[in-house]
Amino acid sequence: MDPGEAVEAKFLQSLENKKTENAGLIFLQKDPRIQVISTLAKRAALNALGVEGSFGAQTFDAVMTREPVEPLGVDDIADHIEDVTLLEMKTTKKPIKNANLNGFFFGATEREYELATHLGDRYRFAFVVLSENNDYGQYFAVLLPLREVARRTRARRIQYQVNFKTDTADLSAERQGDFLPVTIRPDHGP
């Protein structure tokens, strides 16, 4: 596979992952207690829960209340905060047999684990299976607190995702690294 095909394959996989995630959110929202709220409402929820630190709106995907409530927003999330559980969704199209979730593979961030530790049962991982090839013959979801995720975990590894600074000035020659100028031709790849 040439480098151009590799980049295209990675891009297509990212698009497919986003479609799967969106389908998972749509499936979760079939439960009227579950809502996807705006980024500002997510921040307001974290504030109302008294969460401090570097947790942001990306640390969870949806909220769930004990009973269905009107659509929650920035202005009223605090009014319902005692009834709110944060949900972090992990979705697969793989055939997972049942609610035991044997063989479910997912990625999670350190911040998700930290927030789950801080909030306890107020934070759940929502494992969504978008396959009908299972004991139930339909899509299903299982909501688990971190302690149950930890109990079911066979192995866990750390993977770093790195963002370079945005304010790096010109570097000395020895700090620049080896620069390999490559010309990319649109019709032939590098």
**pLDDT band at 78; cut points 50, 70, 90:** very high
For residues 19-38, average pLDDT: 97
Closest by alpha carbon to 88, among 31, 25, 30, 27? Answer: 25
H/E stretch holding 127: strand 123-129
152 domain-assigned: yes
181 domain-assigned: no
For residues 136-146, average pLDDT: 97
Q: Is pLDDT of 182 > 60?
A: yes
38 domain-assigned: yes
Residues of the chain with pLDDT > 90, as a percent, come to 68
Q: Is pLDDT of 43 > 90?
A: yes
Rounded-to-integer distance, Cα 48 and Cα 78, Å: 6
177 domain-assigned: no
**pLDDT band at 59; cut points 50, 70, 90:** very high
Q: Taking all residues of the chain, what is their mean pLDDT, rounded to a whole number?
A: 89
For residues 132-144, average pLDDT: 97
Range of the domain at 84: 3-163
Q: Residue 38 burial (CB < 10 Å; 0-12/13-18/19+)?
A: middle
For residues 52-72, average pLDDT: 93
Closest by alpha carbon to 128, among 61, 32, 82, 46? Answer: 61
For residues 163-187, average pLDDT: 71
Region of poorest pLDDT, from 5-9, 12-16, 101-105, 107-111:
5-9
170 domain-assigned: no
pLDDT number for residue 88: 98
**pLDDT band at 136; cut points 50, 70, 90:** very high
For residues 77-90, average pLDDT: 97
pLDDT number for residue 75: 96
Largest CA distance in the chain: 62
Q: Is pLDDT of 131 > 60?
A: yes
Q: Considering its fold, how many domains does the chain have in total?
A: 1
178 domain-assigned: no
186 domain-assigned: no
Rounded-to-integer distance, Cα 165 and Cα 149, Å: 34
182 domain-assigned: no
Higher pLDDT residue, 154 or 184?
154
pTM for this entry = 0.80
Q: Is pLDDT of 181 > 80?
A: no
Tokens of 130: 């978008």
